[in-house]
A and B are shown apart, each in its own frame.
Chain A
Amino acid sequence: DVKVTQSSRYLVKRTGEKVFLECVQDMDHENMFWYRQDPGLGLRLIYFSYDVKMKEKGDIPEGYSVSREKKERFSLILESASTNQTSMYLCASRLGTNYGYTFGSGTRLTVV
């Protein structure tokens, strides 16, 4: 089974801190995605990557950046965390455009 692993289940950070959320997949998937999930809003796409060193903005990229130096790892970076970035963050990967997504278990980030 494909596994998508997010390094932390829960994180608490202070306003203004730089925050790294890590996601690793173990099945050589080409595409990787970062979503945030908020009650009543569903999942909103932050950034995605179709290949190593490639990145594309999703629907809500403001305040975030990403890094994909290796195929298996896709990092989400909050340059200066703010309280409105308190959320559940979900990483997903897929083999290619015509394949289904596999999701990680999520990281619940609280910014205080």
Chain B
Amino acid sequence: DIQMTQSPSTLSASVGDRVTITCRASQSISGWLAWYQHKPGKAPKLLIYKAASLESGVPSRFSGSGSGTEFTLTISSLQPDDFATYCCQQYYSYPWTFGQGTKVDIK
């Protein structure tokens, strides 16, 4: 299985901050990576697919980059609604695997 490792596990930030989350794959996954936002009791929300493609309806302050084994999710200016957990997922090969999540909380 391809292991996905996110850093940091927790990130404290303020509204307006630029936030960057890193996801590393244990082997090359080309650009087959998705990012999700997850809030307690709610359905996870797809933000980014194919490493850098923004899902329809997702604010442009979210962006993704990377290829191979290292990927980043950037929130250019953190908004109150963005305090949540973010996780990455590789879909290069079965079984699909996820990172352990990065919780973004209020500083």
**Do A and B come together as binding partners?**
no
Residues of B within 8 A of A (CB): none
